[in-house]
Structure 1
Amino acid sequence: MAQRLVSVWQPFFLGSASRDAAVEAARELEELGYSRIWFSAGFGDDVPARFREILDGTGRIGVAPGIVSIWHSSPPEVAAFARDAERAHPGRFLLGLGASHAVLVEKDGTDYRRPYSKMVSYLDGLDQAGFPRERRILAALGPRMLELSRDRSAGAHPYFIPAEHTAEARAALGADRLLAPEVAVVLDPDPVTARATARKYTAGYLTLPNYTNNLRRFGWADEDFAAGGSDRLVDAIIPWGTAEQVAAGLEKHYRAGADEVAIQVLNGGDARSFPADAFRALATVLIGRR
């Protein structure tokens, strides 16, 4: 494992934050030593300008969509945006692509069929547009998509997974591909309130078959998915506790083979607010910045 990067995944950056608020938060994360900022690109037909705004307003930190939906964007347009970002800020924009979920994609009438084949076709389009494989990464859960990530991108950006999945992903990707899982956390040492906060997040994701089917491969069952998740499942997916305890939970992913962990803070952070204090505390433990 060549890298050990600490990144940020927060909906705030594409939520209700103004450009100035988003750039201000990004500058602080850069000063704290975080490597990259991840956030959803939404379901529009292009890459939101916010990614370029953060690049323009900072000097080092990377940005990456987690993810651009392959159902709502075209390879030529996405490649054009990514090439412009690369020319202006070499090595700082990483294009995250994903097939998302049927229930979300079909809200606007889009036909969600054969997502793997759709991804292959989308990657063909990026190749034809001349966009390099080393500047794109795939949201991958199952074995086939992980193999596609290995063969046709820089690596994989799994979401909502336990450390056991990180180990499987590393084995599938090999040693030379980037593995950057998202891991949501709760900075709260009280087990009752910490798990309650975590379940506000897990409850929605446990209704999505892509995630529950993936978890079944690691031995989780229907009883673990009920009521926002069993204590055992919540604890496996959402590290909670003090900053030091959360860091210990994140360490499981690094030991399993992650190069980069994209941390999403759940308490105090959402599309409307940025949990600056939490990222300061985590930086002290994970990066050594005070």
Structure 2
Amino acid sequence: MFRMSETHAARRQYRVGFVADSPNFPAAWNDVVEKVRIADELGFDSVWLGESWGYELFTSLADLVRATQRIKIGAGIANIYSRSPAVLASSAATLDERSGGRFLLGLGPSGANVIEHWHGVRFEKPLQRTREYIEIIRMILRGEKLIYHGTFFKLERGFKLRFTPPRSDLPIYVAAMGPKNIIQTGEIADGVMPIYWPCTKWGDLRALLDEGARKAGRVPHSAMIAPYITTALLPENVSEERRQEARSAAAMPLAYYVGKMGTYYADMLRRNGFEAEVQAIIDGWQKGIKSAIAAVSPRLLDAVALVGTPREVVARLDQWAEWGVDEPLLTMPEGPVDEVAALLQDLKEALV
């Protein structure tokens, strides 16, 4: 087990976690579990899984709970359309009990394509639906009789959860990008989970969260900033050719999110000063994926992704933390388990 010196502990208030696997391009599951076990043994803070149209989320999270001892296990994120608030509340409470109080619940609307054409549910009023889900889940976790009158849910019979969860205040995070959603997150949640938010704009994100906190009578910094960060950890002796390959690989999902995932990410980046870069990527898609990836500028990639050796990544995380990041969530390295173990150990040592 590694320990931070008092000097570095004071400087590094941020807590590093990992996104264990891609929901769209899942790796061999046994390898995913083994990498998570290594992150647990090294003392990293959290590990998260998402979902799309692949593995079922909570079944996979249960595997990670059983395979670990200390690391927090997060749903990042469960969408707010395909499961009822009660199912999400009971799932979260069950995993929190089985993990000894280590579970984190991330929620979000996902997007219209997935919700309507995979789940077959109408995608409407995601902001209001998010609020009602969190309010109902909180009521269930507190052991209250479930009587609720909202826009989407009318619950009259007063059902109560039939066991006592270990934590009535289980942390709830929200995947939010638009200003209204971020402000609401500051009102009602414990953290925000943005994707591809530019590093120079963490202060703007904090201001929106704290505006929501004030509206709800909460203290500033009530909601943590826990961004998903596309990350490529490289060995210390990496060649320049391998470094450039890693940058190109990191640009691929960014180009996809900007050009093929609706307008959410493109609009967010435009609002944050990357209008020309967004348009270049969209224009690049007219010629195909290679042109779209090539259109990702170094300025944009460096603003939203981390590519480098463990020491280089930690140096940038230190800077990002000064700008407002609380809980950076890095991409779990790809590759054989033994190679990943070495990279994670080097990262942990760089954080000390």
Give the TM-score normalised by structure 2: 0.72
Give 1:62's match in structure 2, choosing from 46, 52, 72: 72
| Deviations 1:117-151 (CA, angstroms, capped at 9, x unpaired) | 22122223323433645421111222222222222
Unpaired segments of 5 or more residues in structure 2? 1-10, 143-167, 210-219, 282-291
Larger CA Rg, structure 1 vs 2: 2
What residue is the counterpart of 1:217 in the other structure?
271
Give 1:161's match in structure 2, choosing from 175, 197, 220: 197
What residue is the counterpart of 1:177 in the other structure?
223
Structure-2 change in CA distance of 1:282 and 1:196 (3 Å): same
Deviates more, 1:87-96 or 1:221-230: 221-230
What residue is the counterpart of 1:107 in the other structure?
117
SS of 2:103's partner is: coil
SS of 2:106's partner is: strand
Q: Structure with the greater relative contact order (CA < 8 A, sep ≥ 6): 1 or 2?
A: 1
Counterparts of 1:47-126 in structure 2, within 5 Å, are 47-108=57-118, 109-126=120-137
Deviates more, 1:206-215 or 1:131-140: 131-140
| Deviations 1:156-193 (CA, angstroms, capped at 9, x unpaired) | 12122221342222223332322211111223563532
What residue is the counterpart of 1:279 in the other structure?
344
- Matched-pair contact (CA < 8 Å) for 2:35–2:340: no
Give 1:195's match in structure 2, choosing from 237, 244, 247: 247
Shift of 1:29: 0.5
1:137 aligns with 2:173: yes
Shift of 1:154: 1.2
Give the TM-score normalised by structure 1: 0.86
Shift of 1:273: 11
Q: d(CA) in 1 for partners of 2:84 and 2:55?
A: 7
SS of 1:100's partner is: coil
What residue is the counterpart of 1:205 in the other structure?
257
Q: d(CA) in 2 for partners of 1:274 and 1:179?
A: 30
Letter in 2 for 1:195: R
What residue is the counterpart of 2:149 in the other structure?
none
Give 2:324's match in structure 1, choosing from 236, 257, 274: 257
Identity between Structure 1 and Structure 2 (%): 27
What residue is the counterpart of 2:313 in the other structure?
246
SS of 1:206's partner is: helix
What residue is the counterpart of 2:183 in the other structure?
147
Structure-2 change in CA distance of 1:280 and 1:107 (3 Å): farther
SS of 2:177's partner is: coil
Unpaired segments of 5 or more residues in structure 1? none
Letter in 1 for 2:127: Y
| Deviations 1:184-218 (CA, angstroms, capped at 9, x unpaired) | 12235635323211122212111231111111111
